Structure 1
Amino acid sequence: MPRSYAHLQRLFVQAALAPDAELTLGKDQSLYLAAVLRKSVGDDVVLFNGRDGAWLCRLIGDSKKAVHLRVVEQIAPQTPVSDLWYGFAPLKSERLDYVIQKAVEMGAGLIQPIMTEYTQVHRLKGERMTANAIEAAEQCEVLSVPHIVPETTLSRLLAGWTAEHGDRRLIFADEGEASASPIETLKALEGQRVGLLIGPEGGFSPEERENLRAQPYVVPISLGPRILRADTAAVAALACIQATIGDWR
């Protein structure tokens, strides 16, 4: 029976991973392993870098300032990077963290904050969003950490969509759409590159909604008869996409 590595701590690193390679972790990760988790020489962890798959690694030095490890063996091949684009109007603090984490768990490959008329947050910390994406990947055994794309406004996004994304279709959760299941609409996009756009609390303004619906690449969907919070709508829509035309099938 194959050995289970699910109980081992997983960490994302930038270094290349290959058999018998040795590497030294940075201060924060070293302190976490040696002082918080009390890992010592001979203990195992799992490292991944988004390029080389997941690797079993063994501590060969347990200083709290610089943990040293030796790469032992690959335990999982690298998974393909997801092509699913996810754009969202930023939310406040913990809910913003939640949205990033859930997008990673749900298989988004590119994540981009989109500023809209009703967006309540206008100052974003890119390092915090990246840290949340990495943490979610570590916890959920995701091997490809999504790319956090710099924020833009909705008007700039739509004006440059075709030049930036080619033939990718843009699905957006439209509160004004008649209540219905989105499944049949999504099935019609089978085999096409897609993105998902979720608006802010309060939805898109009338002008923004009109602009969205005027674009030939935009596909509005309903998420049912109830008004969902923006973070709930994100999870619901991503689940529908992955189950219908994504990687859940």
Structure 2
Amino acid sequence: MSTPRLYLDQPLAEGAEVPATAGQAHYLGGVMRRGPGDAVLLFNGRDGEWAASIAALRKDRCSFRPERQVRPQEPLPGCRLLVAAVKRDAMDWMAEKATELGIGLIQPVLTRRSITDKVNTARLSNIAQEAAEQCGRLTVPRVAPAAPLHAVLDAWDATPLLVGDERRESPPLTAAVRAMPAGPWAWLVGPEGGFERAELDDLRRRAFVSTVSLGPRILRAETAAVAGLAVLQALAGDWNRV
């Protein structure tokens, strides 16, 4: 039987009893059929991963007793995903997969062809948390509020930003990655229908941007997001760590 793994926004220290959320209490008691004394794993993005036990559990109330740290804390990854706002199901799926792929920040952006100007940040944050619990990472990516693309670019730092060019007028992503300096990076995927020409022209004028191609086929936005992240993690990310 697998040990439940849960994220808590609470300090974790040996012997210090910490409360669970009502949702976690229901999950442990009603879904997982666990009770006091059963083992859990806890993490909070700051204190590493802890082996703990259920101290008390009753309906929508639960508390844990951390016993020992089993993994030291790792820093929040510096890589980012920027994605034009799309339909809810696609946004949900991208948030889940970006978390599994080790992204530190998910930034929804609004473009001229975005099909929606509303993004449920709280929902995406919950999806990212659940994905972090399942995939074993020790941090939960931050989901930033949706913002116009130009505003995000105007406030950008020097982090290299690779942008998917659906017109395939740019060099392959793999070539651009090999030419990048070592360090954090970001990946930007446009909306259904792609960026408008003026948006691509604006992107190309910015020194930190490289537009790239993802091959000969037209990809859905969510496919392009995940495909690009996989290439970036394989060539310039933590997939190379021993």
TM norm. shorter chain > 0.5: yes
Aligned equivalent of 2:60, options 59, 62, 65:
65
Aligned equivalent of 1:16, options 6, 11, 18:
11
Aligned counterpart, 2:74: 79
Aligned counterpart, 1:242: 233
**1:32-51 equivalent positions in 2, closer than 5 A:** 32-51=27-46
| 2:238 match: secondary structure | coil
The answer (yes or no) to whether the contact 2:170–2:211 under 8 Å persists in 1 is no
- Listed as ranges, the gaps of 5+ residues in structure 1 are 1-5
**1:161-200 equivalent positions in 2, closer than 5 A:** 161=156, 165=157, 167-178=158-169, 181-200=172-191
**1:78-97 equivalent positions in 2, closer than 5 A:** 78-97=73-92
| 2:98 match: secondary structure | helix
Aligned counterpart, 1:103: 98
**1:217-236 equivalent positions in 2, closer than 5 A:** 217-236=208-227
| 2:92 match: secondary structure | helix
CA distance in 2, matches of 1:39, 1:140: 21
| 1:223 match: secondary structure | coil
The one-letter code matched in structure 2 to 1:108 is: I
Aligned counterpart, 1:215: 206
The answer (yes or no) to whether the contact 2:74–2:138 under 8 Å persists in 1 is yes
* Farther-moved stretch of structure 1 (79-88 vs 175-184): 175-184
CA distance in 2, matches of 1:75, 1:113: 34
Q: Deviations over 1:58-104 (max 9, x none)?
A: 11212112112211111211122100021101221211100101111
In the TM superposition, residue 197 of structure 1 has moved relative to its aligned partner by: 0.6
The answer (yes or no) to whether the contact 1:57–1:70 under 8 Å persists in 2 is yes
Aligned counterpart, 1:203: 194
The one-letter code matched in structure 2 to 1:141 is: G
In the TM superposition, residue 54 of structure 1 has moved relative to its aligned partner by: 0.9
The answer (yes or no) to whether the contact 1:91–1:119 under 8 Å persists in 2 is yes
The answer (yes or no) to whether the contact 1:34–1:67 under 8 Å persists in 2 is no
Aligned length in residues = 240
The answer (yes or no) to whether the contact 2:16–2:65 under 8 Å persists in 1 is yes
CA distance in 2, matches of 1:183, 1:124: 31
The answer (yes or no) to whether the contact 1:179–1:224 under 8 Å persists in 2 is no
The answer (yes or no) to whether the contact 1:10–1:45 under 8 Å persists in 2 is yes
- Listed as ranges, the gaps of 5+ residues in structure 2 are none
TM-score w.r.t. length of structure 2? 0.95
User: 2:124 matched to 1:129?
Assistant: yes
Aligned counterpart, 1:144: 139
CA distance in 2, matches of 1:157, 1:67: 41
